[in-house]
Structure 1
Amino acid sequence: MIKLRIIGTAFLCAAALAACKKNSKDTEPDTPPPTTPATGTRLQLSLDTLYLFAKETYLWYDAIPDYSTFNPRGYAGSDDLASLKNAMYKISQLKENPATQKPYEYYVPNPSRSKFSFVESGNLARGIKGAVDLEGSGNDMGFQAIPVTFANDPTPGKRYVYVAYVEKGSPADAAGLTRGCEITKMNGGNPPTDAGSLNTLINGSTLSLEFTKTNGTKATANLTKKTYTNDPVTAHKVIQGSGTNKIGYLNLMRFSRLSVADNSLDEAFAEFATAGVNNLVIDLRYNGGGYVETFEYLANLIIPNAMNGKVMYKEQFNTLLQEGKAPILKSLPLLDANYQQRYSNGKPLTYADVDFTLAGNVFYFAKKGTLDNVRKVVFIMTGSTASASELTINSLAAYPANIDVKTVGSKSYGKPVGFFGIGIDKFTVYMSQFTSTNALNKGDYFDGFTPDMAEQDLVTRDFGDPLESSLAKAINYINTGSTTGRLSDARIATANGNVVNASDLRMEPVESAGFNGMIEHRRRLKSE
């Protein structure tokens, strides 16, 4: 599936490149901006502009050398997008994290790309249309499958294909496909057991499937790619725990625009409140983030009334932005949530009007809903759990006296940073521009959160199945308070008749469902 990654406030920069280089009289920096050539090719001017924005707005701007040393025009090649990507990558690898002795943006799975910053082609003010976008629109067959092996399989090396997730409202959903189904045939033949070939078929226009459901029954489906309306709340249910424990389970695939997600979130939490739920399991295993406004909405549904008004999270920009010493912001128009120019008293606003101070970027809890007696919250996470999802966990974890927060699964992605998009010619650049912390000023999770309870992602069982390994361990903690107890092993009957242990499952990591990042469109102004 296509990955959509927009972090921060996305906007269209309509200003000419030359305007990006001009200084502003009312926001003079302590030192003059770099002197760049007045003329050049379109690509050279774009590379200069990227460099100038980084020198003033990049989170680790202090590591960027002077213009002559960095020589942005030296990255000009035959492909404009590749040239900008190469320059951005070089900038992203300059600042070393003393904790790891590697760059903050070093990406372990693929060191040739940045972990956070990136460049995309086109005007991304409204975002590239991925498989499912944050506006609730899907345009695919609506599922992801993954190759799986079992260490104790009677047929050594045998690879199976299981459905990792199904998008709600999609053609796959309508055809009865669910997470945990084993695909036995694709287009009449054996399914490919390498992820690349498998994804090629899944991302095609049509696909015929034969599959075995989680209850053992066999079924077929003929899928056709089409547009559909997606609900990010894939599943929610009430699970009876031991004694007086009532557990509300919620799977959220992404932090879609609030108007897309709020009704389903309200419905789920109203059911939880009516049922007397006093513990929660929030499943963010494939949630790569999305709108900060929606993360806040979820957090405010979870918290008890006693946390109302307390600090939720903070955003910290670089020193130049905080002190108003980034005159280049005059060239960036400030847009609203609908990507339209914002005005104040008839004056078009730019990012120079935004309050980037520490005090101006503190955000507070504001309780929503009637669920008020949650004692424990367990978050399910994987390496696809990123950005706004990690911000949710980090924000709630700052108040152990009010709510007990634990995590289960595998280490999260590690993205405590956010961006606002910079339009440069026909491209949009996203470079790290702020860090997020909780009320205790903790936010240095560049390596991801290590789970309190390590557990695999058991794709052979559907979301919300109490026997799914991560959910089972979460329930066990809620019931017993133990994070170390070993659970009884589940047995799985595969399509070829073999019976294997779930604990022996081996699979490639599941890609996050189409988005990785945070979008914040509610910037505060200096005058507010």
Structure 2
Amino acid sequence: MTKAKKLLQLCALASVVLLGACKKDKISKTDTKTANGTRTQLTKDSIFLYAKELYLWNQYLPSYEAFAPRDNFNFSEELYSLNRELFAITQKAINPTTGKSYEYNPDDPDDTKYSFIEDLAAKGVIASVKNAQGVDFNGEGNDTGFYVYLEGKKTDYKVYIRFCSPGSPAALAGLGRADRITKINGKTIGSDYDGEVSFLEDALNASSVSLTGINKKGLAFNVSLTAKKYDSSPIFKDSVLTVGAKKIGYLAFARFTSDKNSAQVLDNVFAKFANAGVSDLVIDLRYNPGGYVSTAEHLINLIAPPGLNGRTMFVETYNETLRSGKASILVNQPLRDQEGNIEYKNGKMLNYKDNVSYRPENNTTIFEKEGNLNSVTKVAFITTDNTASASELVINSLKPHITVKTFGSTSYGKPVGFFPIRIDKYDVYLSSFSTKNSEGDGDYYDGIAPDLETPDDVKHDFGDTNERSLAAALAYLTSGSLKVNRTLSTQQTKSGNTLNKAIGNQDFKGMIAVPKGRK
């Protein structure tokens, strides 16, 4: 028996010993030393050996002996060491189109673009944001709830609210998109970015902050916010817009949260659209980082006409090890629902090895119309580089079947997804499947480019027909016009002194799915 196979058996045992960390699981208390190494060493072994069987590009990974996880990535902080190991794993597969890793992250080349590790010690849910703040994919928030955009020059800039999470302290205080902040914690801002950036980042990411400014109606505000836990709707705004003779449904969707958080509110919105006689849609995904594939599927079925029933929506494709049923290490991973609860059938715990099929024919999603909105002919999507994963899946899946146009800027580029692998107190999210539409298209690793580039106009609220991206989408839906705007706003002007950027904590970008194929 090879050393790698012995380690695989050992780590399979270690996975059983180290499983845990959700609110319904107990983290086992074991000695620092186990049968063959420390707890940290076994965790490092497990991450690599799971990647060897699960990672989408596992054929590019070296042997255990060559990778030597125990001999490398030894830092004082355990989670940092594990993240460095994960980064090294993700750099092995090279995209021939770009000559860089599939997981190359242009915003931070020293970090992964897709895969990540989450410490679950204080979480207790199957999916949540990477940082301690923000709204997770169960719709549970834990912050002050506002996100900002800086526009102008470094020596003369303005701070606008991009959005407030529904139900957050900021939203409950009456703040919203397009409100302008002039003071933070009593300090006037906007004249010296280089001297103010550290103050801004600390203040905006703090658990409490005071804000002074002018709202979108021209009225002054002065509020103090304190972070707290809250339930958040995934919908920023929905409305029926009458443009000429057309009824156009507008939906600004924040994230693809769990079925429990998203399904009913989406059903309500589309029922309203149907009752109003809506014929076309604008789906605003400009800040939507993705989430559950099941919720993306639900949104697609609400949009799609009934004539598409039975046709292919998208296909999830796994690596050959998974497709052939040879990922034996997965016997140690229990299936969990969206709340993190372990699934059982006839009193027996289900697992990702014996109870799941990874073959394409068992992971093909077909259209099954939902709701009563049956007459949609055109859909305009608004995107930015924050539009990722499940958001891109919706756009790509509809393209072969109905008229789809995109407005804004190029999306994030994440045609891959994952399901959580629990190792000790961590959930490890390894890119495990790719998605393609009915025509086999899906390699948008560099994002989906817009049909018409338009700025993210933070001076106007969601659903305001004067907002640049929405105005362009409405012009197309009513007249067919896709004219390129040659006089882009200052947000798209590039110079050494220009300052146009978002600041503060960002939601992680991901696509989470339990494989459809069941045995």
TM score, norm. by length of structure 2: 0.86
The one of 174, 177, 180 equivalent to 2:178 is 180
Written as runs of structure 1 = structure 2, the 5 A alignment for 1:346-425 is 346-353=347-354, 354-399=356-401, 403-425=402-424
- Cα distance in 1 for residues equivalent to 2:483 and 2:10: 59
Instruction: Give yes or no for the alignment of 1:524 onto 2:479.
Output: no
* Amino acid in structure 1 at the alignment position of 2:500: M
Residues 134 and 255, structure 1, Cα contact 8 Å, conserved in 2: yes
- Cα distance in 1 for residues equivalent to 2:105 and 2:506: 19
- In structure 1, the residue matched to 2:83 is 85
The one of 19, 25, 28 equivalent to 2:13 is 19
- In structure 2, the residue matched to 1:44 is 41
- Cα distance in 2 for residues equivalent to 1:183 and 1:21: 49
Q: Secondary structure at the match of 1:261?
A: helix
Residue 517 of structure 1: how far off its partner (Å): 0.9
- In structure 2, the residue matched to 1:498 is none
Residue 21 of structure 1: how far off its partner (Å): 8.3
- In structure 1, the residue matched to 2:4 is none
- In structure 2, the residue matched to 1:110 is 108
- Cα distance in 1 for residues equivalent to 2:505 and 2:186: 28
Residue 50 of structure 1: how far off its partner (Å): 1.5
Deviations 1:318-358 (CA, angstroms, capped at 9, x unpaired): 00100011111111112233322222333222111211111
- In structure 1, the residue matched to 2:439 is 440
Written as runs of structure 1 = structure 2, the 5 A alignment for 1:130-169 is 130-149=133-152, 157-169=155-167
Deviations 1:194-220 (CA, angstroms, capped at 9, x unpaired): 555324223323322221122322222
- Cα distance in 2 for residues equivalent to 1:320 and 1:79: 33
Written as runs of structure 1 = structure 2, the 5 A alignment for 1:206-217 is 206-217=208-219
- Cα distance in 1 for residues equivalent to 2:238 and 2:505: 20
| Bigger shift: residues 362-371 or 119-128 | 119-128
Residue 39 of structure 1: how far off its partner (Å): 1.9
Using CA pairs under 8 Å that are at least 6 residues apart, name the structure with larger relative contact order, 1 or 2: 1
Written as runs of structure 1 = structure 2, the 5 A alignment for 1:443-482 is 443-482=442-481
Residues 142 and 172, structure 1, Cα contact 8 Å, conserved in 2: yes
- Cα distance in 2 for residues equivalent to 1:329 and 1:258: 25
Deviations 1:453-475 (CA, angstroms, capped at 9, x unpaired): 11111111111111111111111
* Amino acid in structure 2 at the alignment position of 1:258: D
- Cα distance in 2 for residues equivalent to 1:246 and 1:220: 38
- Cα distance in 1 for residues equivalent to 2:517 and 2:334: 14
Instruction: Give yes or no for the alignment of 1:61 onto 2:58.
Output: yes
| Bigger shift: residues 407-416 or 137-146 | 137-146
Instruction: Give yes or no for the alignment of 1:268 onto 2:269.
Output: yes
CA 1:507/1:517 → structure 2, altered by over 3 Å: closer, same or farther? same
Residue 449 of structure 1: how far off its partner (Å): 0.5
Residues 180 and 215, structure 2, Cα contact 8 Å, conserved in 1: yes
Residues 413 and 448, structure 1, Cα contact 8 Å, conserved in 2: yes
Percent identity (aligned): 42
Q: Alignment length, in residue pairs?
A: 479
* Amino acid in structure 2 at the alignment position of 1:373: S
- Cα distance in 2 for residues equivalent to 1:419 and 1:489: 37
Residues 238 and 272, structure 1, Cα contact 8 Å, conserved in 2: yes
Q: Secondary structure at the match of 1:177?
A: coil
Residues 73 and 84, structure 2, Cα contact 8 Å, conserved in 1: no
Residue 506 of structure 1: how far off its partner (Å): 5.3
- Cα distance in 2 for residues equivalent to 1:66 and 1:245: 61
- In structure 2, the residue matched to 1:73 is 70
Q: Secondary structure at the match of 1:201?
A: helix
Instruction: Give yes or no for the alignment of 1:218 onto 2:212.
Output: no
Residues 241 and 247, structure 1, Cα contact 8 Å, conserved in 2: yes
Residue 487 of structure 1: how far off its partner (Å): 8.4
Q: Secondary structure at the match of 2:188?
A: coil
CA 1:303/1:318 → structure 2, altered by over 3 Å: closer, same or farther? same
Residue 157 of structure 1: how far off its partner (Å): 3.4
| Bigger shift: residues 182-191 or 413-422 | 182-191
Residues 133 and 505, structure 2, Cα contact 8 Å, conserved in 1: no
* Amino acid in structure 1 at the alignment position of 2:459: T
- In structure 1, the residue matched to 2:234 is 232
Structure 2: gaps of 5 or more residues: 1-8, 17-33
Deviations 1:141-167 (CA, angstroms, capped at 9, x unpaired): 2111122106xxxxx830111111011
- In structure 2, the residue matched to 1:493 is none
Residues 358 and 515, structure 2, Cα contact 8 Å, conserved in 1: no
How much is the aligned-residue C-alpha RMSD, in angstroms? 2.5
Deviations 1:33-55 (CA, angstroms, capped at 9, x unpaired): xxxx9722222222221121111
* Amino acid in structure 2 at the alignment position of 1:132: V
- Cα distance in 2 for residues equivalent to 1:137 and 1:50: 28
* Amino acid in structure 1 at the alignment position of 2:255: R
CA 1:509/1:269 → structure 2, altered by over 3 Å: closer, same or farther? same
Residues 422 and 428, structure 2, Cα contact 8 Å, conserved in 1: yes
CA 1:195/1:282 → structure 2, altered by over 3 Å: closer, same or farther? farther
- Cα distance in 1 for residues equivalent to 2:412 and 2:505: 10
- Cα distance in 1 for residues equivalent to 2:276 and 2:486: 27
- Cα distance in 1 for residues equivalent to 2:515 and 2:432: 16
* Amino acid in structure 2 at the alignment position of 1:395: S
* Amino acid in structure 2 at the alignment position of 1:524: G
- In structure 1, the residue matched to 2:29 is none
Deviations 1:78-121 (CA, angstroms, capped at 9, x unpaired): 33222211111111000110111111111111111111112222
Structure 1 runs (4+) deviating above 4 angstroms are 192-196, 487-490, 501-506, 509-513
Residue 139 of structure 1: how far off its partner (Å): 2.2
TM score, norm. by length of structure 1: 0.85
Structure 1: gaps of 5 or more residues: 1-14, 23-36, 151-155, 491-500
- Cα distance in 2 for residues equivalent to 1:102 and 1:489: 31
CA 1:487/1:418 → structure 2, altered by over 3 Å: closer, same or farther? same
* Amino acid in structure 1 at the alignment position of 2:58: Y
Residues 362 and 516, structure 2, Cα contact 8 Å, conserved in 1: no
| Bigger shift: residues 190-199 or 515-524 | 190-199
Residue 489 of structure 1: how far off its partner (Å): 7.9
- In structure 2, the residue matched to 1:321 is 322
| Bigger shift: residues 290-299 or 247-256 | 290-299
Q: Secondary structure at the match of 1:165?
A: strand
